[in-house]
Amino acid sequence: MKKRRDMENWIRRQLFTITDEGPCLRFVLKHITSGKKASEVLSLPVPEQAGSDFVTELINELEATAVSDAGGVGGVQSYIIQSFFTKSKTRPGARFTFRVQGENEEDIDGEFSSEPPTLRGQLSQTQRHLEAVMRTSTMNTGHVMAMMQRTINRLADQNEALADDKLKTLEVLESLHSQKHERDLETRKAAHREELVEKGFDKLGLLMPVVVNKLTGRKMLPETASSKEMMISAFLESLSPEQLDKISSTLEPEQMAAFAQAAQQFMAPEKPED
């Protein structure tokens, strides 16, 4: 049997919806046999003041009558409720169909059964079963699709979160690499400054006797070489290979030979005295 709410909604539409046929006069319950013939089981008139209480009483009476009738026949029985209006008293205006499972499954000849053991009854039963199978299949398919959609959404969220984490990790690695490059650069600068300071102290140590003697006006400290020689030697030692190449490219051959001899003389290490 269809749900009770479906029947109630249909009855309320017949009673409380204004149509050109006028108000509803009565409801008729009929039993549908295997030959699609409908036999009247119950007829209920509609009072002038029909409200919610009448709707409830009407539904209870129709259900009870259909269940009692189906129990006497046995098997699955089909019923139809017809509504009649004032302008068409003999012609039904609308109908509502439902099925009832009878308690007794035995039916000798199947004459009064809605699904007798005949070709027509089997076809009717097959259609009913197919309808139930399709309804169940549609519900299951919808359930599976909903689960798949939730799974897809969850995986998409996870992938997005993983992509964000990977991007943040790459940013951190890039920042660490940049900081390492800056630290290496600062280390090289510090080493270069330290090297320059050491070279400066070395040069200062060589020039210190000359400077002290100049300031005091007498030879307070022994000088290993003259101030001019020391300055020339310091200048020559400060030249890089690239600077020497540029200087040599601008000198004539005889000038280059003289420059090389002078450089060799001033830059050559002193031989220890015997």
Burial of 63 (0-12, 13-18, 19+ CB in 10 A): middle
What phi-psi label fits residue 64: left (phi over 0), alpha (psi between -120 and 50 degrees) or beta?
Answer: alpha
> Confidence class of residue 182 from pLDDT cuts 50, 70 and 90?
confident
Q: How far is the C-alpha of 48 from the C-alpha of 182, rounded, in Å?
A: 97
> Confidence class of residue 108 from pLDDT cuts 50, 70 and 90?
very low
Q: How far is the C-alpha of 25 from the C-alpha of 15, rounded, in Å?
A: 9
Q: How far is the C-alpha of 83 from the C-alpha of 151, rounded, in Å?
A: 49
Q: Which residues contact 164 (CB under 8 A, 6 or more apart)?
A: none
Q: What is the pLDDT of residues 113-126, one digit of tens each?
A: 555 666 666 676 78
Would you kindly state where each structural domain of the chain is located, as residue ranges? 4-112, 225-267
- What pLDDT is attached to residue 104? 54
Residue 213 has pLDDT above 50, yes or no: yes
Arithmetic mean of pLDDT, 251-271? 70
Arithmetic mean of pLDDT, 71-78? 80
Judge whether 76 and 104 are in contact, CB under 8 Å. Answer: no
Arithmetic mean of pLDDT, 145-159? 90
E strands, the chain, are 24-32, 38-45, 76-85, 94-101
- What pLDDT is attached to residue 127? 75
> Confidence class of residue 269 from pLDDT cuts 50, 70 and 90?
low
> Confidence class of residue 220 from pLDDT cuts 50, 70 and 90?
low
Q: What is the pLDDT of residues 153-168, one digit of tens each?
A: 989 898 888 988 888 8
- What pLDDT is attached to residue 230? 64
Judge whether 14 and 94 are in contact, CB under 8 Å. Answer: yes
- What pLDDT is attached to residue 208? 60
- What pLDDT is attached to residue 194? 80
E strands, 138-189, are none
Arithmetic mean of pLDDT, 12-23? 88
Residue 42 has pLDDT above 70, yes or no: yes
The residue type at 96: F
Arithmetic mean of pLDDT, 251-272? 69
Judge whether 26 and 81 are in contact, CB under 8 Å. Answer: no
Residue 145 has pLDDT above 60, yes or no: yes
Q: How far is the C-alpha of 96 from the C-alpha of 155, rounded, in Å?
A: 47
> Confidence class of residue 88 from pLDDT cuts 50, 70 and 90?
confident
CATH number of the 4-112 domain: 3.30.1490
Q: What is the pLDDT of residues 58-72, one digit of tens each?
A: 999 999 999 888 887
3-state secondary structure of 80: strand
| Residue found by looking up tokens 């280390």 in the block | 187
> Confidence class of residue 73 from pLDDT cuts 50, 70 and 90?
confident
Q: How far is the C-alpha of 143 from the C-alpha of 137, rounded, in Å?
A: 10
